[in-house]
Amino acid sequence: MQEKNQKIKKNERRFNMKFNLLSRTKNQTINYEGAKAFAMTPEMELYATVVTWSLNDSFYEKDEARLQRLRVLIAKCTPVFVGKLAVYARTKMYMRSVPLVLVTELARQHAGDNLVARATDGVIGRADEITELLACYELLNERKGPKRLNRLSKQLQKGLSNAFNRFDEYQFGKYSRDGAIRLRDALFLVHPKAKDELQQLLFNKIASGGLQTPYTWETELSALGQMNFDSAEAKTMAFRAKWEELIDSGKLGYMALLRNLRNIQDAGVSYMHFERICERLGDAVEVAKAKQFPFRYLAAYRELIGSQGNKKGYTGLLLDALEKAVRASAANIKGFDHETRVLLACDVSGSMQQPVSAKSKILLYDVGLMLGMLLHSRCKNAEVGMFGDTWKTISVPRTNILGNVQEFYRREGEVGYATNGYLVIQDILRRKVRMDKVMLFTDGQLWDSSILGSRIQTLWLRYKKEVSPEARLYLFDLQGYGRTPLQILRDDVYLIAGWSDKVFEVLAALENGKTALDAINEIEL
């Protein structure tokens, strides 16, 4: 036994020496836990920062520091890449705030062609994003006073003018709201050229404040809420009738439906209307069109199971419909066959227990669990687990995606709250288990709490040499701090970032020999 231990220590020293030789590169750094880490290229860091963007202080980084880092990275990347990344984030990753930040910063740093105009046009997906982009431009350029937007970037103005031509009266009316910058202000500032007489009439309505109030669930419920009722029963009946009318009208958007399931339950709509809701929630075409972050389904699921004692609402039907919806969202994810052994490891450490936004109840590790369970549902031979102080595998069925997330959520305290991701590799190395794909869903701040460092790079090299030479390791970066615990693009280590199920398209691209940046560079402006 003593000779065996001495041999193990000798091998560890040998691999540590190899690790030290590999690490003597200019990209070596440390992460926020003080462990060895590696800096990314500016393009990779900008990509990871953007697709994990949240207007919410993260565990290690405040908003202002993150914004400053974003500006520095933009300056280091080519303007074309920045423009393509902005459109990629909006159209592929379903993000709304950070594409506007990218375009605003691009307008500040680049001029001389129509790149800013093309990128601006590409990131405006809704009518209200016209005014939101102007508000972002005002804020980031620190413009103040009544003439704060008079010196607007000409190319940004041109891109907004093109965007004005894409929306009809319903779309403008739906998002015509009071604010620091109104739709009317944007019209006078941008001066879009109407493409025909009908559009000129529409622009005139915007200018005069004559847009027709659209029929939406917000306007209908708001009007109902301002009415006086003779009794509480009368009010309840009125809201029940209004919700049933909205469900029948088709004007209740998919996201609005997800967010209002509890309200609809409380209104006590009929069983027939619950059936319609469930049919729509689980419809694959509706799911594809809705383009929801996977964690939106989890938020709706938790709202339902958290309503203890609520006897009004056919909760079981709704939970089944949400599971069906999530399975539909995973249907196009390319998983792996029965011969490909996959290990999915979810980080549930303290730094992952931060809300994804100021108003959200969803935590960062929920996003990782959700993505992990989506991929698990598509893999025929997968082992799943979670790590903190320790690493634990948990057996769950493939089809019960939301239920699986809840099972992990219930048990996350069993592994503690450090970030000992190295234990994942150490375990399969010790057991000599051959894995083809090892996937870590994490914020990347991995370390070894027992030695105040990190051994994951050393262990991965050993695992490749001793157990599975063809294995690949994928880091799903959920926070975008700009540092990785292993050197990516070396020793079959790859980085994927983001909260959307679209990250699995990047995974598929990596399997076909491409890089995570290829999908961005393929965007047409």
On whether the CB atoms of residues 384 and 424 are closer than 8 A, the answer is: no
Asked if residue 164 and residue 112 are part of one domain, the reply reads yes
- 438 vs 335, 383, 460, CA distance in Å? 13, 10, 10
Asked if residue 467 and residue 354 are part of one domain, the reply reads yes
Does the pLDDT of residue 82 top 60, yes or no? yes
pTM of the complete model: 0.84
| Euclidean distance between CA atoms 252 and 260, whole angstroms | 10
Asked if residue 489 and residue 363 are part of one domain, the reply reads yes
Asked if residue 377 and residue 264 are part of one domain, the reply reads no
| Euclidean distance between CA atoms 259 and 310, whole angstroms | 17
Asked if residue 283 and residue 259 are part of one domain, the reply reads yes
pLDDT at 402: 97
Q: Residue range 345-364: average pLDDT?
A: 89
Band of pLDDT at residue 406, cut at 50, 70 and 90: very high
16 part of a folded domain: no
What is the Rg, in whole angstroms, of the alpha carbon atoms belonging to the chain? 26
Does the pLDDT of residue 516 top 50, yes or no? yes
- 191 vs 127, 128, 159, 177, 493, CA distance in Å? 15, 17, 11, 19, 50
Asked if residue 445 and residue 347 are part of one domain, the reply reads yes
- Sheet containing 36-39, strands listed edge to edge, beginning at the edge strand earlier in sequence: 28-30, 36-39, 483-484
Band of pLDDT at residue 234, cut at 50, 70 and 90: very high
Tell me: the pLDDT tens digits for 120-152? 999 999 999 999 999 999 888 887 766 677 778
Q: Which comes out higher in pLDDT, residue 53 or 220?
A: 220
Write the single-letter amino acid at 107: A
Q: Residue range 475-488: average pLDDT?
A: 80
Q: Which comes out higher in pLDDT, residue 445 or 122?
A: 122
Helix spans in 226-314 (H): 232-249, 254-259, 261-267, 271-281, 284-290, 294-305
Asked if residue 474 and residue 354 are part of one domain, the reply reads yes
Band of pLDDT at residue 444, cut at 50, 70 and 90: confident
46 part of a folded domain: no
Last residue of a domain, one of 281, 307, 330: 330
pLDDT at 450: 75
Enumerate residues 6+ apart whose C-beta is below 8 A from 96. 90, 125, 129, 132
- 202 vs 169, 193, 251, 398, 442, CA distance in Å? 7, 12, 22, 51, 48
Tell me: the pLDDT tens digits for 243-300? 999 999 988 999 999 999 999 998 999 999 999 999 999 999 999 999 999 999 999 9
pLDDT at 141: 86
Asked if residue 285 and residue 246 are part of one domain, the reply reads yes
Give the β-pairing of 391-393 and 382-387.
antiparallel
* Category of 446 on φ-ψ map: left (φ > 0), alpha (ψ -120 to 50) or beta: beta
Task: Point out which residues pair with 180 in neighbouring strands.
Answer: none
Q: Give the number of domains in the chain.
A: 3
pLDDT at 446: 84
On whether the CB atoms of residues 186 and 131 are closer than 8 A, the answer is: yes
Task: Point out which residues pair with 392 in neighbouring strands.
Answer: 386
- Stretch among 32-41, 254-263, 382-391 having the lowest mean pLDDT: 32-41
Enumerate residues 6+ apart whose C-beta is below 8 A from 227. 238
| Euclidean distance between CA atoms 516 and 47, whole angstroms | 9
How many Å from the N-terminal Cα to the C-terminal Cα in the chain? 64
390 part of a folded domain: yes
Asked if residue 294 and residue 232 are part of one domain, the reply reads yes
- 486 vs 36, 154, 245, CA distance in Å? 9, 43, 55
Please give the mean pLDDT across all residues of the chain. Answer: 87
pLDDT at 139: 87
Distance of CA 94 to the CA centre of its chain: 8
On whether the CB atoms of residues 328 and 284 are closer than 8 A, the answer is: yes
On whether the CB atoms of residues 393 and 385 are closer than 8 A, the answer is: yes
Residue 125 belongs to what domain range? 95-208
Last residue of a domain, one of 298, 330, 362: 330
| Euclidean distance between CA atoms 100 and 41, whole angstroms | 23
269 part of a folded domain: yes
**3-class SS letters over 369-403:** HHHHHHHHCCECCEEEEEECCCEEECCCCCCCHHH
pLDDT at 462: 94
468 part of a folded domain: yes
| Euclidean distance between CA atoms 124 and 99, whole angstroms | 9
Does the pLDDT of residue 58 top 70, yes or no? no
Q: How many CA atoms, within 13 angstroms, populate the side-chain half-sphere of residue 415? A: 26
On whether the CB atoms of residues 440 and 475 are closer than 8 A, the answer is: yes
Asked if residue 507 and residue 378 are part of one domain, the reply reads yes
Does the pLDDT of residue 373 top 90, yes or no? yes
Helix (H) or strand (E) holding 330: helix 315-330
360 part of a folded domain: yes
Does the pLDDT of residue 55 top 80, yes or no? no
Local structure of 524: helix, strand or coil:
coil
Asked if residue 487 and residue 366 are part of one domain, the reply reads yes
CATH code: domain of residue 388: 3.40.50.410
188 part of a folded domain: yes
Asked if residue 313 and residue 177 are part of one domain, the reply reads no
10 part of a folded domain: no
Does the pLDDT of residue 204 top 70, yes or no? yes
